[in-house]
Amino acid sequence: MIHGFLNIDKPAGLTSHDVVARVRRIARQRRVGHAGTLDPAATGVLVLALGGATRLIEYVQETTTKHYYAVVQLGITTTTDDAEGDVLDSAPLPTLDPAALDSTLALFRGTIMQVPPMYSALHHEGQRLYELARAGVVVKRPARPVVIERLELLDWSPPLLTLDVQCSKGTYIRSLARDLGAALGCGGYLQALRRTAVGTFYVEQAIPLGDLESDPAGLTNHVLPPEQAVLDWPAITLDADETRRVRHGQPLNLAEQAGDRLRAYTPDDGALLALLVRAEGLWKPEKVFDWTTA
């Protein structure tokens, strides 16, 4: 079994689940999952985990910043807040120059409250929002805090805004496009989206899905090690006794270690053995790995 991550450059027109299904066929293994969906119309970085690396998906999802190039069309709103939906309304564009645009963009930088789109995978009373939306049901969605770390204007070619966005998990770029259009008084929707980074996974190193499908035998050449998900954690190599204790789920006394989390490696082959977290003065195994098993 293959254990590790794939940094896929997803083409437009496929769901994230479609990509997972295709990689399962290429890898000839069922244990494949994705670390955060990407809308079918969007392109760019889609992180897949294979084998035991699926146990590390949560660290990609929960702790990483995402980076996008987004194209927003002003003057039109749609049912889905992107180009896939039906037009709801249209309005003339106001007179906008880069200075006026930047003053509006400034309203969306930092921590903001954002209402998710109806066409999203969030749940409402046991149903996905997009399932309700397709049935013609619209429900109130509570606003949630998200962090827009960077929001810069790359190009203004009316009616299209091209933006550089760096944001926290849970941010909907479709909602950002919708709210930006509303703030400018003309409405707007997300015309195109490309994800250029998820944490330490960058589009420059991503492999196009088509390249994998045309050369399935070369799959392993593109697999990144499992620790790619936690490269920002400090690393430590354990001795033989510490390794034995961790494999039995026992805590370690590593008084000289600072911080509150570590990735621990074996002394013999240098393989990732465990993720350790500080608790009650000791370092306790949060996850222990055995890469020799399926």
pLDDT in tens, 114-153: 988 766 666 555 666 666 657 666 667 788 999 999 999 9
Q: Above 70 in pLDDT, residue 1?
A: yes
Torsion of CA 260, 265, 266, 270, to 10 degrees: -170
pLDDT at 17: 93
Please state whether beta strands 43-50 and 4-10 pair in parallel, antiparallel, or not at all (unpaired): antiparallel
User: What integer pLDDT is reported at residue 84 of this predicted model?
Assistant: 86
Active site residue 39: yes
The residue-averaged pLDDT of 273-279 equals 95
Q: Which of 9, 39, 82, 179 is catalytic?
A: 39
- 4-64+200-225 and 70-191: identical CATH topology: yes
pTM for this entry: 0.88
CATH for the stretch 4-64+200-225: 3.30.2350.10
Q: How far apart are CA 154 and CA 162, in angstroms?
A: 5
Break the chain into its structural domains and give their ranges: 4-64+200-225, 70-191, 233-288
Q: What is the pLDDT of residues 177-222, one digit of tens each?
A: 999 999 999 999 999 999 999 988 999 999 999 999 999 999 999 9
Query: Which amino acid type is present at position 200?
Result: T
264 pLDDT higher than 70: yes
Are the C-beta atoms of 252 and 33 separated by less than 8 Å? no
User: Stretch 244-252: mean pLDDT, rounded?
Assistant: 94
Name the CATH superfamily for 233-288: PUA domain (2.30.130.10)
Token pair of 263 as six digits: 């990735």
Check residue 273 and give its pLDDT: 96
- Taking CA 54 as the corner, what is the angle to CA 48 and CA 56, rounded to the nearest 5 degrees? 100
Per DSSP, 31 falls in state -
CATH C-level class of 70-191: alpha beta
Distance from C-alpha of 51 to C-alpha of 55, rounded to nearest angstrom: 8
What is the reported pLDDT for 119?
A: 63
Average pLDDT, the chain: 91
Written as six digits, the tokens of 162 are: 């091209």
pLDDT of residue 133: 59
d(CA 75, CA 182): 9
pLDDT band at 259 (very low <50, low <70, confident <90, very high): confident
Question: pLDDT tier at 37 (50, 70, 90 boundaries)?
Answer: confident
Render pLDDT for 59-77 as a digit per residue (tens, 0 to 9).
998 767 899 999 999 999 9
Q: What tokens does 126 get? A: 């046991």
The Cα 269–Cα 287 span in angstroms is 19
Report the relative pairing of strands 110-114 and 160-167 from DSSP bridges: unpaired
14 pLDDT higher than 90: yes
CA dist 153 and 164 (Å) reads: 6
Give the pLDDT score at 268.
86
For residue 291, CA distances in Å to 53, 57, 81, 184, 258 come to 9, 16, 43, 53, 28
Q: Give the C-alpha separation, 78 to 263, whole Å.
A: 46
